[in-house]
């Protein structure tokens, strides 16, 4: 396990290479995070870092939350724990910046809440086909039969039906970091991440980066990434 940071999804964009290749990318704003607590194996039963982000006013937090954050010296609105192998080199109140945690060319996981779509029917939620839209049919977008015969005589669990759709935590794994922009406190990752623009996201080093399939994936993307990095450095030099 590795450390991660708390950020905010800004939105999607695309990067054009000089050979015409288009790379879809998502911009994630990651302002300085701070270590708010250390979880040790002896005291808590596991090893983890508690990280906080988004400075706020005291009136927006409870007294218990303010007391917990006194050691860190910051009033932070969002907290998140990241399990790590070792706490060496970390202390409460330490500032964590995006350029010190993530580097271009590595793989990260992004966790966010999907867009909430409220109560949705089966055709919208599960892509059911519905009934014929012709004369003689009264129920065009209905679910239809949900039961069986006398055996088992009940509705199976996890039956796809109408209900609340979205607003659930989703983890997108193994996204390539295209660039780190410390002057803007931003991270540029290849592809899309869950949630609306302005939504809260957690970025951490990929859990599956050591798999053979992911190493092959990096090798496939290496030429495109190297060309992109070369063009970025040329633009910065100009």
What integer pLDDT is reported at residue 120 of this predicted model?
Answer: 95
**pLDDT at position 235, please?**
57
Q: Are residues 47 and 20 in the same domain?
A: yes
Query: Residue 114 CB: number of other CB atoms within 10 A?
Result: 15
| pLDDT score recorded for residue 208 | 85
pTM: 0.84
> 76-83 and 4-16: which strand pairing?
unpaired
pLDDT by position in tens, the chain (length 238): 678 999 999 999 988 777 777 889 999 999 999 999 999 999 999 999 999 999 999 999 999 999 999 988 899 999 999 999 888 889 999 999 999 999 888 899 999 999 999 999 999 999 999 999 899 888 899 888 888 778 888 888 999 999 999 999 999 999 999 889 999 999 999 999 999 999 999 999 988 888 888 888 888 777 766 666 666 556 555 4
Query: Does a structural domain hold residue 223?
Result: yes
Give the model confidence (pLDDT) of 188-204 as tens digits: 999 999 999 999 999 99
Tell whether 77 and 126 lie within a shared domain: no
CA-to-CA separations, 141 to 103, 123, 137, in angstroms, rounded:
49, 7, 10
Quick one: 104 exposed, middle or buried, by C-beta within 10 A (0-12, 13-18, 19+)? middle
Q: How confident is the model at residue 231, as a pLDDT?
A: 63
Into how many domains does the chain fold? 2
Instruction: Write out pLDDT tens, residues 128-177.
Output: 999 998 998 888 998 888 887 788 888 889 999 999 999 999 999 999 99
Helix locations, the chain, DSSP H: 41-44, 63-68, 98-101, 122-126, 212-237
Does residue 149 lie within any of the structural domains? no
Residue 129 lies in a domain: yes
Phi, psi at residue 78, to the nearest 5°? Answer: -120, 135
Residue 152 falls inside a structural domain: no
Give rounded-to-5 percent helix, strand, coil for the chain: 20, 35, 45
**Burial of 71: CB neighbours in 10 Å, binned 0-12, 13-18, 19+:** middle
In angstroms, the CA 39 to CA 81 distance is: 9
Is 154 inside a domain boundary?
no
What's residue 230's pLDDT? Answer: 65
Residue pointed to by tokens 């218990």 = 64
Query: What is the structure's pLDDT at 228?
Result: 67
Are 125 and 65 found together in one domain? no
* 153 is a domain residue: no
> Do 206 and 174 have their domain in common?
yes
Domain with 133 in it: 120-143+162-167
77 and 129 housed in the same domain: no
């Amino acid at each position: 396990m590795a450390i991660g940071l708390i950020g905010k999804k800004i939105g999607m964009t695309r990067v054009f290479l000089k050979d015409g290749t288009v790379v879809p990318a998502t911009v994630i704003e990651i302002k300085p995070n701070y270590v708010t607590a250390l979880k040790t194996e002896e005291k808590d039963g596991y090893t983890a870092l508690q990280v906080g982000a988004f400075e706020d006013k005291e009136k927006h937090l409870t007294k218990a939350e303010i007391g917990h954050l006194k050691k860190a010296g910051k009033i932070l609105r969002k907290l998140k724990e990241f399990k790590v192998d070792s706490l060496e080199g970390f202390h409460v109140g330490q500032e964590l910046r995006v350029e010190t945690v993530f580097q271009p060319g590595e793989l990260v996981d992004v966790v966010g809440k999907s867009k909430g779509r409220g109560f949705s029917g089966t055709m919208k939620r599960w892509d059911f086909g519905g009934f014929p839209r012709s004369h003689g049919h009264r129920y065009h977008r209905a679910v239809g039969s949900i039961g069986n015969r006398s055996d088992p005589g009940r509705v199976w669990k996890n039956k796809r039906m109408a209900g609340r759709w979205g607003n659930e935590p989703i983890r997108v794994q193994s996204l390539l970091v295209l660039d780190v922009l410390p002057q803007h406190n931003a991270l540029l990752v290849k592809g899309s991440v869950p949630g609306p623009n302005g939504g809260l996201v957690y970025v951490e080093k990929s859990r599956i980066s050591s798999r053979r399939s992911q190493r092959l994936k990096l090798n496939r993307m290496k030429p495109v990434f190297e060309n992109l990095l070369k063009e970025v450095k040329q633009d910065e030099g100009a």
